[in-house]
Structure 1
Amino acid sequence: APICVAIIIQVCLLFCIGSRIRELLNQTDEVRDGLSVLSDVLSLIERREFHSPHLTTIITALQTDGVPPSRSIAQLRRNIQGLNNCFRNQFSAPLTILLGIPFHYMFAIERWLQRVGPHCPEWLAAVGEFEALCSLAGYAYEHPEDPFPEIADPVEGPRFEGTELGHPLIPLDQVVRNDVTLNSEHRLLMISGSNMSGKSTLMRTVGTNFVLALAGAPVRATRLTVTPMQAGTAMRVQDSLQQGASLFYQSVARLSAVVHLADAPEPVLFLLDEILQGTNSHDRRIGAQSVIETLIERGGIGIVTTHDLALTEITSLFGSQAKNVHFEDQLIDGKMTFDYRMRPGIVEHSNALELMKMMGIELKALDPEQNPESADLKQ
């Protein structure tokens, strides 16, 4: 009789909390293997002795209730594994249910969630920060030739002053380096140039090294001095068929986001590639000038690239604070070559027609009498 009563009680319990057991199994099945990795990582961190004040602070966040987090996580994994094992074998599952073993595991997991669960966000944040710091340290170890940047006092105004800047993703034996100076006295670089000459790559070089610098990593440069700033970029803008947004609309939306960044007290390092594509030269000139004026008036510094030489005239509005520079190509034996060197001034020629010829497109001269608009443009 006592056995029958026990069986009835176990069956009733199964019907009452069976849905909760299934819910726990579904929730924990995906994270079971991850808990093992997390426990190993926490154990590795706990065994190390750190002298850095910042790392010591992170370690302090892991010390809760006197039980190492790695042990608590391992305990949770064992309980989850035990609960799964109760239902894995079809022959032994009825016996484990009659003995009430699944209920013991379930209650153990519930107690763990109530007692230890609130500390998990802190542990995950600590592990995440350690992972990020290890990535930066690994990058520094793998690039001993790259120096660490100098972080200047923002009271002196925004600064991005790099000597022999190169893109970190281009191999050392191929990278071409250029000097870039942006500060309170030189706020704008307007870059013109032919296709594939290096305009966008320079902009990416500046942006990537800026992010590395503020993250605490070494930079691909001989020397780099920066102040803390926000990064506002409008690069690789594309239209969207799904959203029903044209290229020009997407460009304006992206520029609007950059301009709104400038509302904050912290200055903006703006990087605008081929500003306002998808509209005519007249509207592009007015729009680009308005955006650049707004960003500079609000304390920003940055770079703008363009194929539209009319935009290079905008620099005259800012006097010595703005500078025109360019990249160019050379046609040698019918082959286009680039040295990717930034030069002062406005580019003097384009390679668009030469590139079309190289691709086998036959070009025909326009007849001014048949095309009066081209004649007006020529004048």
Structure 2
Amino acid sequence: MKIKTQVQLSFMMFLEFFIWGGWFVTLGTFLGSNLQATGAQSAMAFSTQSWGAIIAPFIIGLIADRYFNAERILGVLHLIGALLMYMMYQSTDFGAFYPYVLSYMIVFMPTLALVNSVSFNQMTDPAKQFSFVRVFGTIGWIVAGSLISYLNWDSTESVAQGMLQNTFLMTAIASAVLGLYSFTLPKTPPKIDKDEKMSISNILGLDALSLLKDRNFLLFFIASVLICIPLAFYYQNASPFLTEIGVENSTFKMSIGQMSEVVFMLLLPFFFKKFGFKMTILAGMLAWTLRYLLFAYGDSGELVFMLIIGIALHGLCYDFFFVSGQIYTDTKAGKKFKSAAQGLITLATYGVGMLIGFYIAGIITDMYQNTEGLHNWENIWIYPAGFALVVALLFALLFKDEKIEYQQ
């Protein structure tokens, strides 16, 4: 791959995840402070990510893979996204905001697959080259969070003044830039002949359902759906929690989670090889329990280090469960169902699992909110901690260990 192409793809990844991290991290705080949203309404807003994940395969499978170059549809989607993001910036109540955030997620979630498609199409050895491009996405997310904290939009005083509204304007501009920039990217023509028949089950990865006949894979599949329930608590509540208890520069501090992803991604092959798949998955599950216990009993004073450790565990929580799960799925599926199996797991986790998780998180958050809008965070965080522990124990008891080779 030419250096010029690598630079182009890296900047594309940087903008893609700068956009996502530039508004999604602080969304929960914005909803509560600017729009006075309830926990249930916040759950509705965060659930748009799941609806986007469910609808995305149709956009990719029925349109992008058949009729248009991937870089062109990437550009169109981000230009539409820029307009929707600007409308979100102007919204003053949840009723007006929700249709825009739902529409935005429907056009944004397919772009996550499109940037990968554009990248892989230019690579001679994706296994070695992709990580050096994808890491700029993580850097983009970190820069977005750092910028929000540098501009002081996430301080307790600024949040009270409604400054988080600016994140949507910043993201709208970045989305417009990526939309226009996408048309300069290397050409990525359709992969499938437009006359070739595509079934709904093929698009959604349902052809891989036969893998569920394998007892171990069925247990892993169920665990993947269930572990997304505590994951939803983090996405929905972490930013409001840190802001409410008075943690300064909270958005930058949350980006420590992305920094740790890079570290734990490097540690994953060594852990995987030494301890095997089952122990790797269990380490990821138990990390969720530990993280939420740290959140429950930490504070913004002398015990703030507990919150920082909880955030830094994100790499262990995410990489050791989801990335190793992708490797396990790839190994179990074989050549015939590789793509279908990954699509099925994505639909089950980011689609169904997160949808259930956001709904439950909304109910529990409202349950522990007082009349002044403040929360009993200790009680809130105990729920996902306990749930993750139960899932881990059941997985440890029921899943039979099997040898899986780590494939980079």
Shorter-chain TM range is: under 0.3
Q: What's the TM-score, normalizing by structure 1?
A: 0.24
User: Larger strand proportion, structure 1 or 2?
Assistant: 1
Q: Which has the higher contact order (CA 8 A, sep 6+)?
A: 2
Larger radius of gyration: 1
